[in-house]
């Protein structure tokens, strides 16, 4: 159905305002003897963002003014038309408003879907960091006299985390297999426990590098996933090395600082910026153990802030 209203253009010429399909036409009446209508403005209905009707507006105070605000490219514009045909203008306004409402509802649904997807990926990333925590904790508890009760608790928690990760069903999950580690712990085979633990950490690290190149995710920056995981693994590696061996590898320190700075560049949350300052205040990296808990907590807090 085509809607058409006769009236005046803003510059005083007679003409029509009409909706034909998905476009709004403003046509100017031309000619003295053989009247014809020529297009002077055409906009897409889908570009309209608001409409309004007003009375007694200059320069035609006896007519009713309709204004259609719309976006064209990156520019915000407005279309103005005057007519004494209130019903016709109301019909035009009603049709455009209905399209605006439909698009707003659709955009809200899409935004809600994006938020849910983003929160799922952030939740998944938090679980990946928890897996890293539990795996390194197992290695830590093996040092000296193995604390088997704590190690079994760590493995049981890791199993729970993996089950929760699988239940999330994110687009590109990291598949971690805990069965080998669980079996080695139940049989108290220290060398195999270490092999299985490092295998888990390798899988997490490898998949973190893979995800930024995965094209199936639009609503979460997977580079953030990579830098969070790498920072967390390197921080734990430095902490465990210093705790067990007393001296850290200089190249590992450089890798951590480089990756952590990437994290600071990627996310401008106050916890990350605070963590960067914390590294300087605590004379990082001379004493990893003294600042480990603080940096670890700030990384986790920054991850939580991504949801907000």
CB 64 within 8 A of CB 55: yes
20 three-class SS: strand
Q: Using 50, 70 and 90 to split pLDDT, how confident is the model at 247?
A: confident
What's the pTM value of the predicted model, to 2 decimals?
Answer: 0.72
Element of type H or E holding 245: helix 222-245
| Structural domains in the chain, sorted by start | 3-84 (2.30.29.30), 111-305 (no CATH)
Average pLDDT over residues 249-263: 80
| CA dist., res. 105 & res. 111, Å (int) | 10
The residues facing 57 across adjacent strands are 60
What tokens were used for 33? 């003897």
Q: Kindly report, residue by residue over 45-91, the tens digit of the pLDDT.
A: 999 999 999 998 888 999 999 999 999 988 999 999 999 999 999 99
Q: Would you state the pLDDT for residue 244?
A: 83
Q: Indicate if the pLDDT at residue 277 is higher than 70.
A: no
Q: What angle do CA 184, 164, 300 make, to 5 degrees?
A: 95
Q: Would you state the pLDDT for residue 7?
A: 95
Average pLDDT over residues 157-167: 89
CB 174 within 8 A of CB 203: yes
């Amino acid at each position: 159905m085509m809607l058409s209203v006769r009236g005046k253009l803003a510059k005083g010429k007679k003409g029509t305002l009409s909706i034909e399909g998905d476009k709004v036409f403003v046509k100017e009446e031309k000619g003295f003897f053989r009247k014809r209508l020529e297009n002077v403005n055409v906009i897409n209905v889908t570009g309209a963002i608001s409409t309004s009707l007003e009375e007694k507006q200059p320069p035609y105070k006896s007519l009713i003014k309709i204004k259609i605000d719309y976006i064209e490219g990156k520019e915000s514009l407005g279309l103005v038309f005057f007519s004494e045909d209130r019903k016709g203008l109301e019909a035009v306004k009603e049709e455009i408003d209905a399209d605006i409402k439909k698009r707003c509802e659709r955009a809200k649904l899409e935004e809600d879907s994006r938020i849910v997807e983003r929160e799922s990926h952030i939740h998944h990333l938090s679980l990946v960091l928890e897996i890293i925590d539990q795996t390194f904790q197992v290695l830590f508890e093996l040092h000296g006299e193995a604390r088997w009760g704590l190690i079994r608790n760590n493995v049981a928690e890791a199993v729970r985390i993996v089950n929760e990760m699988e239940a999330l069903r994110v687009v590109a999950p990291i598949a971690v297999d805990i069965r080998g580690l669980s079996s080695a712990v139940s049989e108290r085979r220290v060398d195999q426990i270490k092999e299985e633990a490092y295998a888990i950490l390798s899988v997490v690290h490898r998949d973190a590098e893979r995800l930024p190149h995965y094209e199936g995710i639009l609503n979460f920056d997977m580079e953030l996933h990579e830098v969070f995981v790498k920072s967390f693994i390197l921080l734990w590696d430095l902490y465990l090395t210093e705790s067990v061996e007393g001296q850290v590898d200089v190249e590992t320190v450089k890798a951590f600082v480089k990756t952590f700075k990437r994290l600071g560049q990627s996310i401008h949350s106050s916890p990350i910026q605070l963590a960067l300052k914390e590294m300087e205040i605590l004379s990082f990296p001379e004493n990893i153990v003294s600042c480990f808990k603080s940096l670890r907590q700030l990384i986790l807090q920054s991850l939580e802030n991504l949801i907000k």
